[in-house]
Amino acid sequence: MAIAPRPPPSGRSTAPSAAARRRSLFYQILAVAVVALLVWWLASTTLQNMRARGIQGGFGFLLSPAGFEIGESWLPYQSTDAYWQAFLAGLGNTLKVAAAGILICTLLGTLLGIGRFSVNAIVRALCYGYVELFRNIPLLLQLLAWYLVLTQFLPAIDDPATIAGWVSVSKNGVTFGPGADATTFSPEFITVLLGLSLYTSAFVAEIVRAGIAAVPRGQIEAASALGLPRRRTMRLVVLPQALRVIVPPLTGQYLNLLKNSSLGVAVGYPDLVSIANTSLNQTGRAVECITLVMAVYLAVSLVIALLMNRVNRGAAITGG
């Protein structure tokens, strides 16, 4: 007796309907309109209150000479330059320390996270102790501690310590290179870089540890059965799969590092916030200076998030 073929399943499609897409678009437009209306109301109310109190407003002050020096600047700057150039120099300093901090915390945090799985108990304990120490001490206290070390316990400026005849260390900072070609990193820059890197690397280490722990044990056992050494198993099998778990929270830590760089003002590092504070005190344009800082941090954060989203899409599993 012939058996009739089984009819295909008649389940509903999971793709959203045209009506659902239209409703979603409508709600998005409505949300944007509400936010825009709220921003307009806040801006108009603020301007009215400022005019009622005789407070000048506007961003025209950005074209006036700043009239103050900046201790160090990645970009060319003089006191006779305009305020917008001072803000640009402060932004350059912020990006310089943030980019270096992201690189260092990624490398150090990855090594610490992998070290948590070491077969050596001492290495595991050291990595665990590092993470618990640095992530449980407030970043501001760490910055102040590093600044105290750099400014009090390093050699005097007129008697620096020399390493290999090419690196000089003193209370003036660290200098690389001979003569006029030397490159100097100030104590303030080194303080902020050390604080941000060491603090954030503790969180990155936990993210890496969690990502490695999320890889199925069978993958490691299969690699071991094929005769792969432990290091190659970690590099070729575990880390590529763990990357899918690591990248999303890692993005958040990068954004935190960028925003935490504003604490550099506590040790005199001339970042964007420090320049904004000086400009605010000279011009009285509090709303404008704060708005500029908020807009810049928002823009840079969105760029970092966009780049990390591309990395995340590249690390995701694709069907096929």
Give the containing element (helix H, strand E) for 77.
Answer: none
pTM of the model: 0.81
Q: What is the mean pLDDT of residues 274-303?
A: 92
pLDDT tens, 52-93?
777 677 788 899 999 999 988 888 899 999 999 999 999 999
Question: What region does 67 belong to: left with phi over 0, alpha with psi -120 to 50, or beta?
Answer: left
pLDDT reported for residue 91:
95
pLDDT reported for residue 98:
96
Indicate whether 316 pLDDT > 80.
Answer: no
When pLDDT is cut at 50, 70 and 90, the band that residue 320 belongs to is very low
Q: What is the mean pLDDT of residues 84-110?
A: 95
Under 8 Å between Cβ of 133 and 293 = no
User: Which of the residue ranges 65-74, 171-180, 186-195, 271-280 would you say has the lowest mean pLDDT?
Assistant: 171-180
Task: Name all domains of the chain by residue range, CATH numbers in brackets.
Answer: 61-315 (1.10.3720.10)
Q: What is the spatial distance between Cα 5 and Cα 258, in angstroms, rounded to a whole number?
A: 62
pLDDT reported for residue 42:
79
